[in-house]
Amino acid sequence: MMGYVLLAGFLFAAFIGRFLWSRVSRFRGTVFEPDRRRSAIILGAALHGEKPSSALRERLNQALHLYANGWIDRFICSGGANHRHVSEAEVMKRVLIEHGVPEEAILLEDQSSNTRENLLKTRKILQEQEIGEVYLITHDYHMYRAMRSAEKADIAVKPAPFATERLQMPYHYIRECLALLKFYLSR
């Protein structure tokens, strides 16, 4: 009898793991095709002191690439301080300005501590500024959960995913699967 219980538990865990992996992998290999000029939300990632982490640097590079090609007219940098004296949003703003983005084209959401809060708090800025549909800039493995969070926040987004060139993918995919499980359980 105990063998059947263990087998059922193993099969259930395998099913859940496969389900989560398929969601996290949904945007893998997606080639982003911008369709018109619009504003963009850049979701924060970790900082190293007052410098962007590799993950955040990649998100900024994607944003700057779209800006240089005329697809973005305004940025909403979203990411809080999380017990640091500088927010992810502030660091993103500095990097964007260093790369020629005018300060008036950058809005900050600097109070959030996770993806869900990023988008809930960004919604207020979008409403105040009367900004409609926006590009959502984050890694491909993070995009599914970010899109679900945007949907819950009632934000119209067009995904602008990209694949990492620097991060260790097994770690980030597994971490994102766990974050997605937490997202589903906290609904």
Q: pTM to 2 decimals?
A: 0.90
CA distances from 101 to 38, 69, 83, 96, 163 (A): 15, 13, 28, 5, 24
**The predicted structure's pLDDT at residue 83:** 74
Q: By three-state DSSP, how is residue 69 classified?
A: coil
**The predicted structure's pLDDT at residue 4:** 74
Domains of the chain listed by start with CATH number: 2-185 (3.40.50.620)
**The predicted structure's pLDDT at residue 89:** 97
pLDDT averages per 10-residue partition of the chain, 187 residues: 73 80 85 88 93 95 95 95 87 97 97 94 96 95 96 96 83 88 85
**The predicted structure's pLDDT at residue 22:** 83
